[in-house]
Amino acid sequence: MAIAHTWPGWVATGFLWFLAFEFLMGAVTKFWPGPTFFGPAYSVKFPDWGWPAWFRFVVGAIEGVCALLLAIPYHESRFLGAAVLVLVLTGAVVTHTINHHSLKESFSAPVHLVVVGIVALATWPADWMDVIQPGRWS
């Protein structure tokens, strides 16, 4: 069952574009050299969390690509973007849990994990080969 079949198409598209915008903003802030509207620079946050500072670029690039995949109007691309974000957000939730962050600091990751999990389930391909088949999305 796809999102477009359970909600009116414009609602599903708008929701996925909003979600893509959120992750695109998250990606941009990972590359931003100084403090962001989310607080201190990610070049400071990542080492504080036990990750190397350069790892923020990896996470930011993955978030950016996944944001674009969520915006593409094909279920296969949306599934792929959401499935990869499930992995990234699982890492974020574990990182926040291990570091004993307050609810204020760690609220976003589990909420987004649930949301992209629902998107991944809603856009689950009938055939796994549809996700990796060359030329399928053209």
Q: What is the pLDDT of residues 65-93, one digit of tens each?
A: 999 999 998 878 999 999 999 999 999 99
Q: How high is the pLDDT of residue 91?
A: 95
Which residues of the chain have a pLDDT value below 70? 1-8, 128-138
- 116 falls within a domain: yes
The answer to whether residue 43 sits within a structural domain is: no
Taking alpha carbons only, the member of 108, 78, 81 closest to residue 3 is 78
pLDDT above 70 covers what percent of the chain?
86
Residue corresponding to tokens 């890492």: 91
Considering its fold, how many domains does the chain have in total? 1
Domain range for 10 is 3-30+62-127
User: Is the residue at 101 inside a domain?
Assistant: yes
35 occurs within a structural domain: no
Asked, for residue 49, whether it belongs to a domain, the answer is no
**Domain membership flag for residue 79:** yes
pLDDT for residue 7: 54
Q: What is the mean pLDDT of the chain?
A: 86
User: Is residue 134 one of the residues assigned to a domain?
Assistant: no
- Residue 12 within a domain: yes
